[in-house]
Amino acid sequence: MQQLAFEIITPVFGNSFKLETFDEYNVNHYKSWHYHPEIELVYINGGSGKRQIGTHMSYFNDGDLILIGKNLPHCGFTDRSTGNRKETLVQFREDFLGQGFFDIPEMEKLKALFSMAEQGLAFHGDTKSRVGLAMEGLDELDGFKRLLSILDILHELSLSTELTILNAERFAISTEVSEQNRINKVFNYVKNNFQQPIPLETVSSLSGMTEPSFCRYFKKTTSKTFTQFVNEYRLVHASKLLAEKEMAISDIAFEAGFQNVSHFTRLFRTFTGMSPSAYRHEMRNVIST
């Protein structure tokens, strides 16, 4: 069972932020639910996969550009099956340029961006293309110019309207260690067992609660019922299979953890606004263009 994952991020000596790149030879192996006090900007060049940020889960294709606020739990976005060419991430604390730096008038929009990022932001369109290119160019710059480029990237993001807020309800890990352990145990159990039935009794026991207490706690913490959370996790997995695999829809339903195809179809239509077959057709049109 995976426990609470608090990621300790240490910038390379002489830097106030951390820059990392991953590709087919250097794969990002950090897959468990984790969080950290640093803000994280991730650019995935190409490929498709799942976004799992806070209580939000969705499928992306043709890469992604995501800004994750401090203490917002998330999973790794790429692996060897994602099909991306490269992943670039920048991690920094909100005060990485000193206390009060982002309080000056010129930084007002960036400060507002950091606040919005606590809900998780996904950027698309020209913003994703331009910022992605700039992020991949950071490796070629020296320390000072790299810092200026990061500020320029953040400024462009703060002006962009090409974004989606991923968590309508703000969700960040509690500062209490017991609470961190509790919710992470549940998240990781769902991540590892979503293809099987998940008895409420099991997750309640993991949390050290009675079933009614757990249901109230989970809804209060995530703004979702536990059943809704599990179903959304399964539906996102099904979305990925529909876009990428030549499988019958009934097989996809069972592979995603649903025991009844009609129930799966009804939930999928509610979740995406279209039937599984219509979603598959639309995704193939998007990917082929």
Q: What is the pLDDT at residue 179? A: 62
Q: What is the pLDDT of residue 3?
A: 41
Write the pLDDT tens digit of every residue in 50-93. Answer: 888 888 888 898 899 999 999 888 888 887 778 888 999 999 99
pLDDT, position 180? 63
Spatial CA neighbour of 68 closest among 119, 109, 107, 21: 119
End-to-end CA distance of the chain: 42
Q: Are strands 163-165 and 56-60 parallel, antiparallel or unpaired?
A: unpaired
At residue 245, the pLDDT reads 87
Instruction: Quickly count: other Cβ atoms within 10 Å of residue 119's Cβ.
Output: 21
- Burial group, residue 11, by CB count within 10 angstroms (0-12, 13-18, 19+): middle
CA dihedral 132, 137, 139, 141 (to 10 degrees): -140
Work out the pLDDT band at 170, boundaries 50, 70, 90: low
pLDDT of 177:
47
Rounded to whole angstroms, the Cα distance separating 187 from 192 reads 9
Radius of gyration of the chain (CA): 20
Q: Is the pLDDT of residue 17 over 90?
A: yes
For the chain, give every residue range classified as CATH 1.10.10.60: 194-288
Neighbouring residues of 91: CB distance < 8 A, sequence distance ≥ 6? 9, 17, 18, 20, 36, 38, 39, 40, 41
Tens-digit pLDDT profile for residues 240-265: 889 888 899 999 999 999 999 999 99
pLDDT tens per residue, range 100-151:
999 999 999 999 999 999 999 999 999 999 999 999 999 999 889 999 999 9
One CATH from 3.30.70, 2.40.50, 2.60.120, 1.20.120 for 18-165 = 2.60.120
Q: Does the pLDDT at position 288 exceed 60?
A: no
* Predicted pLDDT of residue 169: 64
User: Looking at the chain, which residues constitute the CATH 2.60.120 domain(s)?
Assistant: 18-165
Q: Which of 10-24, 106-120, 213-227 has the lowest mean pLDDT?
A: 10-24
Please give the average per-residue pLDDT across 198-207, as a whole number. 92
> What pLDDT shows up at residue 175?
42
Residues of the chain with pLDDT > 70, as a percent, come to: 88
The domain 194-288 having CATH identifier 1.10.10.60: the answer here is yes
